[in-house]
Structure 1
């Protein structure tokens, strides 16, 4: 049997390829999973080879997996040739789902050794919640919340780290991911327990942030480091004036909607504040602080579930009565996707996905992600009204890019549009040939190839274009290389990082210090460019 060896640097170790019997059509992957702090091997980690579906944000399991041994070593056998990410997961450690390890492309009969995966240990936070008298509050929900930046709108959102207080007011949050967070508390009965105020009105417990403020801008940010323990955290719940919103939900004919759901979201993006079902057209929502809200009403009446409405509400110092919400089937837009300049090449429209997005507050404007049919036709059904944007992922063929989104004479690409008046059917999503390509190497502060988990992000250099447009991103490979393909011709600001803010609905927005940390690159139609980047750190509050 003929054998050839090829050595390559992988994650700071040695990657060995071995050419096996030509009849062998499967591959083997070997490596080690270590604690990022101690560099010790971690036993019992589930390692899975994930197949790529248009980037690391769209992965599915290959079915090939294994557990690490007592030394943290793993071996995956019978892996089919192809491109894979490795995911690794174990309780008390941050899983790699947000930063899976990109492997070199596996060819038939090859063996990949020396793969190294680092996992960050999770943290623990504990403390108590008290009322205005210093007495413990039982049944309060305590949540970790992170900053979310999207479409030039900043908000905060729950990360999933939460706990309830016991009868002593004590909470314990296990397995918190490293990051920068706000800590908030809400009382489970705050929607129903309200107290009269002198001179009229009522007060109630509102969402309160550490150390005891209702305004997140005044809250204390926590830095949660890998494996850390933070104890003695105390939140004193605030009681503030709260108000009621009462009204009617009517259908197109003006009749009360028999059964419907009202979702209430604040301008901060903390959602849903309330999500309740009402009957016979009447609704009443209590316990709201003054501020800006969005109310989404949706019919759940049998045979009428397609009707909905979205209403902006600016709540001042007083109750709101007789608010009418008119539900309608929404807007139905006939759309066509076309590919210009492709000659005889046939586009594969199943590689393209369109999601209409509302911006205030951020969320999908339709119940499903839409893929064009074989002839490029598709229908978008917009539920509600307000400012929106179209998120489009994928390309119909190699070397193509999205050039325009036409609604009448207007080009809506990377633009905010009013769904109630700014859309005309039919719409045209125009793709063109001549996309650009950017590749290169990423180094750490010591000049060594960046480790797995790093990302390269490219933003349009025109601030107006990137105000709504998301970053184009790529994972850094095991040898520190990266490639961004199918880029629209433009000037870009490019940087490499190990950090990421929360990405609502797959949207990654530019950091505040983008101009300082990024490298500017010009990419003409069909052009290619190679750059060398240094890892940078996120600017945090």
Structure 2
């Protein structure tokens, strides 16, 4: 398959190291003689016209709040001085153009880390910005009348856990004439979706106002040219600076239903309690065809009504906070061709899950303290529990509700890895563990500070360094996509990369000249390149060096 995103020219740069030219007079002891600088120019891709007023931002990767910025002058030039040596991200943005990072060849590339040495002047950086695209049109109902307040989205395809999914690039509301304008789009393929909630109006960013009750008819999200099934929708390919006008989407009303229920609170008997109730599609494949519904249950008896519900499988959730503690309840329900009554939820106290962290090797932290996290293994919603690990290694996760969880850690140094997670007699490292009320098991977590490292260089077939491409580490003989063993990092301006904190095992390192982020987790995609990965066998604390020739994908697509 051929790529539909036009490639950007390779970002051009030259680096000039500047050293002191004179021996006298000697610099003052407090003079900042090792500061670096970057300078360059921002132009339009087609024609090379200088772009005035583009925002240039340099972010320190070791100290992310430390950011330097400037704007280009009338000649499109910029310069940032007084930069401490280190690793940075350099990005450029301007209204009407697609933002670009240093090292990007095309908009969905990872970009490259910019490594600045002491007293280095990095000159003549050239950013060629692509004009952004626009999709415009209107939304009408079955009578040909315009529909205001419709949420219209441009959705792009992305990889998620090895499968193609849709992700919103931008969302706008239709005006009183039913018109919408999706602007600021990168070149590429998009699906356009319209979602109409007759009883809600957008009143601000991520805010809606409910203006009516449940109706007997509602609108299913529709994809251009007029289908509720994302698999049958037509993709639109937009080019740099292109405007596609007159895209009309017809909305058809369908029969909708109501979900009624009540919340029982075993924690508090206060009649003033207010709960947030949400109805979410239970299957990830339904997220773009079944709209989520929510309500506030604040009546004395805890009753709630969710209207405009389409048939399908849902998870009903209730959330409540009291005195700084969070509570939740879940129930799976099926909405068929009738209203659902008696969808009751019970708010009950969660359990406290105690645990201990032990280290193999010397404890090593990048932060001031270590944190442990619990996240639902089978669902992507609900509260995530977290706890700070004490100086003795103990922790306590409060308000843990029945369910299946995975554990993660934060605050450890980059050379550490999560070696073992045991919940009672269960090995919960790879697949998680089940928590149920009344179980007196504890968590035993082992962190090793002796993770392996892989350092490498990526070149093309002519031995030139390849900047701003993914170097991907995948395990051999294990399921792809496990966060604890799969890693990826972008090459810097010299084509170098460093992978750290790797558990012992057998791996392959892959590097493609063009690849969508996460595509390597798709077995069908990886099959064509499986034999082109660089094999690496690692023990604890190993430091291996690999030289990789980038995999060419253009001839394979």
- Normalising to structure 1: TM-score of the pair? 0.82
Q: CA deviation at 1:456?
A: 2.2
Q: Which runs of 5+ in 2 are unaligned?
A: 1-9, 22-26, 102-107, 201-211
Match for residue 290 of structure 1? 311
Q: Secondary structure at the residue paired with 1:70?
A: coil
**8 Å contact 2:294–2:306 — kept in the other structure?**
no
The 3-state SS of whatever aligns with 1:466 is coil
Identify the match of residue 376 of structure 1 among 388, 393, 399: 393
1:480 counterpart = 2:495: yes
Equivalent position to 1:76, from 59, 76, 80: 80
Structure 1 Cα separation of the partners of residues 477 and 48 of structure 2: 42
Distance 1:499 1:38, change over 3 A: farther
User: Is the 1:25–1:80 contact (alpha carbons within 8 Å) kept by the matching residues of 2?
Assistant: yes
Distance between the aligned counterparts of 1:353 and 1:364, measured in 2? 19
Tell me by how many angstroms 1:172 deviates: 0.7
Deviation digits for residues 397-434 of structure 1 (CA, Å, limit 9, x no counterpart): x6432212221222222314444479875323212244
Q: Within 5 Å, give how 1:464-503 maps onto structure 2.
A: 464=479, 466=481, 471-496=486-511, 500=516
**Worse overlay, 250-259 or 405-414:** 250-259
Q: Is 2:418 aligned against 1:402?
A: yes
Structural mapping, 1:125-524, within 5 Å = 125-147=135-157, 149-151=159-161, 155-159=165-169, 161-189=170-198, 202-252=216-266, 258-266=273-281, 267=283, 268-269=286-287, 273-280=292-299, 281-300=302-321, 303=323, 306-342=326-362, 350=368, 353-363=371-381, 365-366=383-384, 372-381=389-398, 384-393=401-410, 395-396=412-413, 399-420=415-436, 425-443=441-459, 448-452=464-468, 454-464=469-479, 466=481, 471-496=486-511, 500=516, 510=522, 512-517=524-529, 519-524=533-538
Other-structure match for 2:204: none
Distance in 2 (CA, whole Å) between partners of 1:226 and 1:208 is 26
Unaligned runs of 5+ in 1: 1-9, 54-58, 196-201
Aligned partner of residue 342 in structure 2, secondary structure? strand
Q: 1:115 aligns with which of 118, 125, 130?
A: 125
Bigger mean CA deviation after superposition, 439-448 or 424-433: 439-448
Given that 1:257 and 1:299 are in contact with CA atoms closer than 8 Å, whether structure 2 keeps it comes out as no
Q: Distance in 2 between matches of 1:448 and 1:35?
A: 27
Over 3 Å counting, the alpha-carbon distance change for 1:102 and 1:449 in structure 2 is: same
- Relative to 1, partners in 2 of residues 1:222 and 1:357: Cα closer, same or farther, differing over 3 Å? farther
Q: Please say if residues 146 and 502 of structure 1, whose CA atoms lie closer than 8 Å, have aligned partners that are also in contact.
A: no
Is contact 2:423–2:433 with CA below 8 Å preserved after alignment?
Answer: no
CA RMSD between the two structures: 3.7
Residue 198 of structure 1 corresponds to none
Q: 1:429 to 1:269 in 2, by over 3 A?
A: farther
* Paired residues of 1:436 and 1:488 also in contact (CA < 8 A): yes
Is the alpha carbon distance of 1:328 and 1:315 closer, same or farther for their aligned partners in structure 2, counting shifts above 3 Å?
same
Other structure's SS at 2:231 match: helix
The count of corresponding residues between Structure 1 and Structure 2 is: 509
Q: Give the stretch that moved more between structures: 515-524 or 259-268.
A: 515-524
Deviations 1:263-301 (A, max 9, x none): 22223345982333221311111111121222221124x
Superposition deviation, residue 145 in structure 1:
2.6
8 Å Cα contact 1:436/1:487 also seen in 2: yes
| Cα displacement (A) at 1:482 | 1.6
1:103 aligned onto 2:107:
no
- Greater mean deviation of Cα atoms: 143-152 or 432-441: 143-152
Structure 1's 241 and 488: CA in aligned 2 closer, same or farther, altered over 3 A? same
Alpha-carbon shift at residue 204 of structure 1 (Å) = 1.4
Q: CA deviation at 1:499?
A: 5.2
Aligned pairs for 1:13-92 (under 5 A) are 13-20=13-20, 23=31, 24-36=33-45, 40-53=49-62, 60-92=64-96
Q: Which residue of 1 aligns with 2:206?
A: none
The worse-fitting range, judged by mean Cα deviation, of 519-528 and 148-157 is 148-157
Deviation at residue 113 of structure 1 after TM alignment: 2.2
The answer for the alignment partner of 2:209 in structure 1 is none
Deviation at 1:532, TM superposition (A): 1.1
Q: Distance in 1 between matches of 2:52 and 2:261?
A: 58
Superposition deviation, residue 537 in structure 1: 5.9
SS of the counterpart of 1:464?
coil
Name the residue aligned to 2:134: 124
